[in-house]
């Protein structure tokens, strides 16, 4: 089987499973550059959606990420069984990055799954490798990425595979603050993911208090604001001198932030904020920004809340990564404005030959890198 737009690097035969549930199966591994065939995309996305919490990913979103990066389509690792077809998948999406003025191509792993019946299956031609199946396939994929001079690599995958880890990757804890201002307390308590029952109750009560204050208060702020709506690709984003930064050039901005879902607000010639529009069951999500917390006025925060109210959003969600003075100052400003800010840690897995990229403080991390679909 061949894919459109790319040559297959590995095509090997497999033995039929000796048992109906995949025990004794030998899988076929293909490493291929996209775009994939339509039926392959359908299978990959369908299987991936079965393994994540709702809302599920739409086909047009998936295709945008895996096919239309400014650096070209993703590389895919596809595991196949004669009896089940595609039973495993992982891809590397190339992402333009800037490091102290030097342009590089990083890559993010996405849409990773391995069918539960084939967790211990061997891969044809690699039977002697004494590592878990998903790691063997991933290593072949990342070797292909390295041959393209891509890197560093960042892994995003389902919780079951993330807990097992990936060979050659460093698991790194990234501290952050999750800051929320709730406008629809009942919806937020029901729809906010990964919360226990008592946390949902607290979110509802806190949200009710926030809505009581900000619901009417935001209406008193003037509609005119120092924030000006500009086109997503109005201009390249300012370079971050000491951080590995992403989505700063015009092509990457258009790819990462489709204008029917995102807005860019300008504060001055250099400061900006990009957000994803909220809805009845989604937060207005602040994705990427550059601003001085001391310059963020209460009226500007009120203007953001006005926008969320206009869109009928559940509220405003702002994830602030790091524990440096800039992050702390922004958290303090939001807390004083009534946001609920809770410390949290996100564990990410990074692979790089350059030691500085293994430290999260060298990355300009925002939700732009983690909220492709949510």
Q: Write out pLDDT tens, residues 94-146.
A: 999 999 989 999 999 999 999 999 999 999 999 999 898 988 999 999 999 99
Task: Please report the pLDDT score of residue 221 as a whole number.
Answer: 65
Q: Write out pLDDT tens, residues 239-262.
A: 888 899 999 999 999 999 999 999
- Among 135, 168, 201, identify where a domain stops: 168
Distance CA 371, CA 374 (A): 5
pLDDT band at 307 (very low <50, low <70, confident <90, very high): very high
pLDDT exceeds cutoff 80 at 372: no
Shared domain check, 180 and 164? no
Residue with tokens 């009417």: 216
Shared domain check, 64 and 139? yes
Shared domain check, 119 and 180? no
Residue 118 located in a structural domain? yes
- Grouping H, G, I as helix, E, B as strand and the rest as coil, residue 80 is strand
Shared domain check, 299 and 187? yes
- Among 132, 147, 168, identify where a domain stops: 168
* pTM for the full predicted model: 0.88
Residue 141 located in a structural domain? yes
Shared domain check, 200 and 148? no
pLDDT exceeds cutoff 80 at 224: no
Q: Can you spell out the DSSP letters for 246-312?
A: ES-SHHHHHHHS-TTTEEEEESSSS-EEEEE--BTTB-EEEEEEE--GGG--HHHHHHHHHHHHHTT
pLDDT exceeds cutoff 70 at 19: no
Distance CA 323, CA 331 (A): 10
Distance CA 332, CA 184 (A): 23
- Among 146, 168, 190, identify where a domain stops: 168
Residue 370 located in a structural domain? no
Shared domain check, 246 and 103? no
Shared domain check, 47 and 103? yes
Shared domain check, 109 and 49? yes
Shared domain check, 227 and 121? no
Residue 6 located in a structural domain? no
pLDDT exceeds cutoff 60 at 193: yes
CATH number at residue 93: 3.40.630.30
Q: Nearest 5 degrees, angle CA 322-CA 323-CA 329?
A: 105
Distance CA 122, CA 72 (A): 31
Q: Nearest 5 degrees, angle CA 192-CA 369-CA 29?
A: 100
Residue 301 located in a structural domain? yes
CATH number at residue 345: 3.40.630
Residue 367 located in a structural domain? no
Distance CA 94, CA 96 (A): 7
Task: Please report the pLDDT score of residue 374 as a whole number.
Answer: 60
Interstrand relation of 340-351 and 153-155 (parallel, antiparallel or unpaired): antiparallel
Shared domain check, 201 and 109? no
Shared domain check, 155 and 188? no
**Arithmetic mean of pLDDT over the chain:** 87
pLDDT band at 165 (very low <50, low <70, confident <90, very high): low
Shared domain check, 194 and 119? no
Q: How many domains does the chain have?
A: 2
pLDDT exceeds cutoff 70 at 202: yes
pLDDT band at 346 (very low <50, low <70, confident <90, very high): confident
pLDDT exceeds cutoff 60 at 25: yes
Residue 20 located in a structural domain? no
Query: Range of 68's domain?
Result: 26-168
Task: Please report the pLDDT score of residue 152 as a whole number.
Answer: 96
Determine the average pLDDT of the residues in 362-366.
91
Task: Please report the pLDDT score of residue 159 as a whole number.
Answer: 52
């Amino acid at each position: 089987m061949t894919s459109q737009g790319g040559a297959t690097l590995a095509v090997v035969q497999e033995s039929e499973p000796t048992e109906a549930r995949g025990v004794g199966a030998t899988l076929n591994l293909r490493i291929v550059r996209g775009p994939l065939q339509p039926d392959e995309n359908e299978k990959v996305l369908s299987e991936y959606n079965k393994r994540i919490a709702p809302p599920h990913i739409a086909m047009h979103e998936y295709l945008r990420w895996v096919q239309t990066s400014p650096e070209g389509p993703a590389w895919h690792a596809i595991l196949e069984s004669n009896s089940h077809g595609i039973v495993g998948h992982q891809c590397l999406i190339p992402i333009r990055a800037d490091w102290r003025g030097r342009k590089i191509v990083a890559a993010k792993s996405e849409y990773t799954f391995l069918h539960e019946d084939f967790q211990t299956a061997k891969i044809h031609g690699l039977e002697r490798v004494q590592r878990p199946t998903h790691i063997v396939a991933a290593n072949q994929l990342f070797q292909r990425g390295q041959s393209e001079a891509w890197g560093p690599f960042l892994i995003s995958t389902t919780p079951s595979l993330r807990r097992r880890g990936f060979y050659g990757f460093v698991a790194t804890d990234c501290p952050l603050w999750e800051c929320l201002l709730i406008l629809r307390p009942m919806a937020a308590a029901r729809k906010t993911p990964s919360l226990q029952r008592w946390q949902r109750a607290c979110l509802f009560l806190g949200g009710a208090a926030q809505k009581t204050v900000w619901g009417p208060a935001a209406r008193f702020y003037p509609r005119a604001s120092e924030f000006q709506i500009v086109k997503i690709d109005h201009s390249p984003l300012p370079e971050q001198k000491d951080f590995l930064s992403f989505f700063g050039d015009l092509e990457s901005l258009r790819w990462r932030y489709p204008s029917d879902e995102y807005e860019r607000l300008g504060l001055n010639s250099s400061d900006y904020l990009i957000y994803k529009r909220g809805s009845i069951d989604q937060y207005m999500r602040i994705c990427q920004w550059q601003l001085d917390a001391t310059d963020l006025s209460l009226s500007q925060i009120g203007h953001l809340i006005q926008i969320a109210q206009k869109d009928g959003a559940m509220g405003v969600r702002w994830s602030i990564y790091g524990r440096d003075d800039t992050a702390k100052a922004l958290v303090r400003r939001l807390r004083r404005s009534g946001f609920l800010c809770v410390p949290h840690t996100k564990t990410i897995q990074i692979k790089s030959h350059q030691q500085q990229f293994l430290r999260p403080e060298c990355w300009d991390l925002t939700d732009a890198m983690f909220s492709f679909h949510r």
